Amino acid sequence: MFFVYGNYDRKSRPPNFDVSVEGTVVFSWRYPWSDEEAKNGVYSDLYTFIDDGDVKICFYSIATDSPVIGALEIVSVDPQSYSSLATGTDVILVNYGRFTGGLKAFGAGVSREGDKLGRAWEPDATLATTFGESFYLRTDDPIKNAEVAPNYFPQRLYQSAHTLTSPGSIEFMFTVDTSLDYMLWFHFAEIDTAVTASGQRVFDVFINSEAAFSEVDVYKEAGSFAAYDLFHVLKNLTGSALNVTLSPRVGTPILNGLENYAILPMDLSTSVDEVLAMLALKESLRVPERMGWNGDPCAPFNWDTWEGVTCNYAPDGKSLVITRLDLSGQGLKGTISDTITSLKHLRYLNMSNNNLRGSIPSGLGNDNLETVDLSSNDLTGSIPESLGQAQLVKVLLNNNELNGQVPLTLYTIGVRGGFFK
């Protein structure tokens, strides 16, 4: 995703808005943006698992502000990329910094030197602190084991490296959210022709002063001009800073690339059956755009749901379900889709004072449904027997063009029927 404001509305005030993916808030933009962000834009990306073939991305206004988006790209990646077995499939990896050991940025939206997975790589000079004089290596020679599944790290990444002219350390400092865990990926390739044997360059990697990797010897592990990658999952942070240090044992450290991902637990989303039912209802009822029926009906749970929709946790606690539909007086002119019967947890249904036509779906009524108000529409046909089998305490069907007989069980709750011919 690429966000840019550029003062398009001449208000000199970048907007406040949130972005969610699959019902989980992943980005929050709040005024004021930095001058650099507002003028030149900001790039970020993430990785998530999609189970149903449809990715749901929502931009949510804060107050009256309108979200802004410069570009959006969706790329299919190998499900085993970034060691998904180590994190599970119920998380989102959000980019908190991705750097090349070279002097030039490359990748998506930056240069013609691409990245198969659409990643953008920034020079590490913007973040690195060195204790010693930096020296940057560059080669055009091919790199073994680059561009391979499942991560497809680009060859260009390994053809540049950050090292030092004399023994010293290289440090990186990230500002992080202490409530989250993080996954760091380190990318190495020994592209210094002066290193010809193992033991000539050996270093340690510390994360927040604790050894993550000891005695890293890239030549020993991969040889020369070959990719070598390591990753580390960091949990239970106690401070808002994440410090990475490459400290020498023999010679100087070397780094070709570094990635830092926040491991964001996915929020609960609406059950798949109920999402499909609501999408069908949106189409059949001809719900107007002003009602904001986009994305997930219930998620993120801390946002407002779709207008007229009330949600709650499913009995098993693994998803969100719809318990209330109040669409009274919304000017609806369509029909009631049969898929409404898939809303198994619905307790309250009110579609009164619209211009709905067609029949009441057979099968409407479940063990949870207590109130049905379809009065003052243009509904025709008979009252389905299923309504008589539900645990209803209130039914309003008056001011329609219904015909036939009222199910006997409905008389016990004082149903108000339509006009019977």
Q: Tell me the domain boundaries of the chain.
A: 75-265, 272-410
| pTM for the structure as a whole | 0.83
pLDDT confidence of residue 54: 83
Helix, strand, coil % in the chain, rounded to nearest 5: 10, 35, 55
Low-confidence ranges of the chain (pLDDT < 70): 390, 412-421
**CATH fold of 272-410, please?**
3.80.10
Instruction: Give the pLDDT of residue 390.
Output: 67
Check whether the bond before 300 is cis (ω within 30° of 0).
Answer: yes
Q: pLDDT value at position 418?
A: 43
C-alpha 124/C-alpha 371 separation (Å) is: 61
Q: Do residues 240 and 176 make contact, with C-beta atoms less than 8 angstroms apart?
A: yes
DSSP state of 67: P
Fold of 75-265: Jelly Rolls (2.60.120)
What number of other Cβ atoms are within 10 A of residue 317's Cβ?
8
- Report the pLDDT value the prediction gives residue 245, as an integer from 0 to 100: 96
Cα distances from 165 to residues 6, 146, 328, in angstroms, run 41, 27, 73
Length of the chain: 421
Residue 81's closest CA among 108, 107, 54, 116? 116
- String of DSSP letters for 369-409: --EEE--SS--EEPPPTHHHHS--SEEE--SSEE-S---HH
